[in-house]
Amino acid sequence: MVNLQELKKKSKNSILSRINALACFGLVLFSINSNAFEIPDIKLPAGFNISIVTSETPGARSMALGNNTLFVSTMREGKIYAITNYLDQPKVTVIVDNLYMPNGIAFKDGDLYVAEIHRLLKFENIESNIDDAEFTIISDDFPTDQHHGWRYITFGPDEKLYIPIGSPCNYCDEPDYGVITRIDTDGSNKKIIARGIRNTVGITFHPKTDELWFTDNGRDMLGDDIPPGELNRVSFNGQHFGFPFCHGENIEDPILGDLGTCEKSTAPVQELDAHVAPLGLKFYTGSQFPNEYKNQIFIPEHGSWNRSKKSGYRITIVKLDGNNAVSYETFADGWMKEETTLGRPVDLVIANDGSMLVSDDHNGVIYRITYNSN
């Protein structure tokens, strides 16, 4: 059985060496000259269009909307960007640099929260201090493991922060990992609300029921077509979603399957395609898209690194009837052509005008998807 102590045998002498180690997992990010960037040929349903907000955000990952500003995190670059006038004449400012894989980002009551691997930061009154941003440390008791250690954070309807702790492995039995935690904004009252999760880098809440939904990235090295990625719903605290003994609805792990049963864990609402790396999902809550998209789930699929033929590199939509998935289909496609990667969508945000913003860490770009029936 694989355990955490075995995984920690390799030296982690510096932050730089840990970041460089990402190459082993196919996660090195690339940016390009923003002046030379052209949008790939993205296929969208009739009436939809895609444009560029900015191509001056190398490594763009998670996004959070302030009152008048779009905030964008990175991972490898260690930067946080602020984009003012993002729907008109965007101006990009780096508000902080030299952080340790600051993937998680959230905005609440004028303050910006950023999650590095090992700690949670707070930038007070950030929109008035973009050019002179300072932070305080809210919590520094998170695990330091890099493998699945980059965080995704968001606020729930209860005004608490939700922060996952990814499993530090491809497959292993580590009970303190593979969870979603909930904390107060001062870092106190940490509670585990869901277990059995390999690595979620996308959490959102249903606009009507307030229930938490999340994506999960399935384990590797079981072949091209298994296990599936997952779209999950948390209906009660402490719910278990099967990892590491069960994948998808009923795939028993060949090594750790004796640790539990699929029958006693929660199956996904929707099995996604294998190895697509589903990330920052969102319900569409705007008014610009046609009504058929209202309160349906959009999922950016970052794309496979471990498959003989690439999968993902697109945005999909899961249509729901209540809490049941009725379809899983492609919404935006074209970031991969003939096995060549042209982009990797990461996170989604619904802007105030109802358009959809999409981050792409491969190109360092923020896109904007709009709808016009004319």
pLDDT tens for residues 241-252?
Answer: 999 999 999 999
Q: Looking at the predicted structure, is the pLDDT value of residue 3 above 90?
A: no
Cis amide bond preceding 227, omega within 30: yes
Residue 115's closest CA among 168, 169, 55, 71? Answer: 71
What is the residue whose two structure tokens read 């909930």? 182
- The pLDDT assigned to 4 comes to 41
234 assigned to some structural domain: yes
pLDDT tens for residues 327-372?
Answer: 999 999 999 999 999 999 999 999 999 999 999 999 999 999 999 9
Q: Looking at the predicted structure, is the pLDDT value of residue 17 above 80?
A: no
C-beta separation of 64 from 55 below 8 A:
no
Q: How confident is the model at residue 319 (pLDDT cuts 50, 70, 90)?
A: very high
Domain limits for position 278: 42-58+157-371
Q: Looking at the predicted structure, is the pLDDT value of residue 193 above 60?
A: yes
173 assigned to some structural domain: yes
What is the chain's mean pLDDT, rounded?
91
231 assigned to some structural domain: yes
pLDDT tens for residues 101-140?
Answer: 999 999 999 999 999 999 999 999 999 999 999 999 999 9
pTM, two decimals, is 0.90
- The pLDDT assigned to 37 comes to 81
* Residues in the chain, overall count: 374
* DSSP class per residue in 189-225: S-EEEEE--S----EEE-TTT--EEEEEPPPSSS-SS
- Give the count of beta carbons closer than 10 Å to the beta carbon of residue 241: 24
| CATH number for the domain harbouring residue 344 | 2.120.10.30
- The pLDDT assigned to 18 comes to 38
- The pLDDT assigned to 116 comes to 98
203 assigned to some structural domain: yes
Give the chain's domain count.
1
- The pLDDT assigned to 6 comes to 44
Q: How far is CA 14 from the centre of its chain?
A: 25
35 assigned to some structural domain: no
187 assigned to some structural domain: yes
222 assigned to some structural domain: yes
- The pLDDT assigned to 36 comes to 59
